[in-house]
Amino acid sequence: MTGVLAIAGAGGHGRVIADAALECGWHEVVFFDDRFPHLVSTLEWPVLGTFADFLGNVSRFKGVAVGIGDGRARLSILDRLAERDAPVITIVHPHAWVSSRAKLGAGCMISAGAIINVGAQIGRGAIVNTGATVDHDCRVGPGVHVAPGAHISGSVEIGANSWIGVGASIRQGICIGSGVIVGAGAAVVSDLPDDVVAVGVPARVRN
């Protein structure tokens, strides 16, 4: 890729995007973060300004991405980028595997070792993290984070802004609502409503 990729958010997730982008062929990455001007670089990459500066300068860049871990905040910035017709990119690490018959929304991040199978639909701004798997015909909503090593069986539906914890597993055909947190290592074997926290094996809603 020629041109500059600008990333909003210079924390851990932003750096993961930058690293994957370079593996995908981008040659130059810059960051914007509200810790500027106290933060002027992250690893070897410069931080050029705040989020407001980012939104005001998106037309300068070949591509833009949102490197914020919180799903709602990520989607909010993506909404504002859409209003500006910004060149939002989706990053698929070259060591991930995504079926040509899967669909990825704008602004997704698919990390190294992830697998997304045939018929799966990944909503905009979603993260499928390191070594996670999303099997056939799943529908993963916008802003969802599938954490490292989580495994989602076929025909699962996950609502917007849900978080599937590290090493969690979800049985086929399950429906998970919006704003749900599934704890690390949990095994989800029954449907979950909106805005709950589910932990354990089998996963149970925490009161």
Q: What is the pLDDT along the chain (207 residues), one digit of tens a residue?
A: 568 999 999 999 999 999 999 999 999 999 999 999 999 999 999 999 999 999 999 999 999 999 999 999 999 999 999 999 999 999 999 999 999 999 999 999 999 999 999 999 999 999 999 999 999 999 999 999 999 999 999 999 999 999 999 999 999 999 999 999 999 999 999 999 999 999 999 999 997
Query: CATH number of the domain at 90-199, out of 2.160.10.10, 3.40.190.10, 2.40.50.140, 3.90.230.10?
Result: 2.160.10.10
The Cα 181–Cα 144 span in angstroms is: 10
The Cα 126–Cα 83 span in angstroms is: 19
Report, as residue numbers or ranges, the catalytic residues. 136
- Per-residue CA distances from 67 to 28, 113, 136 (Å): 16, 19, 27
pLDDT at 94: 97
Please provide the size of the chain in residues: 207
Query: CATH number of the domain at 4-89, out of 3.30.56.10, 3.40.50.20, 3.30.43.10, 3.30.70.2740?
Result: 3.40.50.20
Point out the annotated binding site: 33-34, 69, 145
The domain locations on the chain are: 4-89, 90-199
pLDDT at 3: 85
pLDDT at 1: 55
pLDDT at 93: 98
Point out the annotated binding site for substrate: 33-34, 69
Q: Both tokens of residue 76?
A: 């909010």
pTM recorded for the entire structure: 0.95
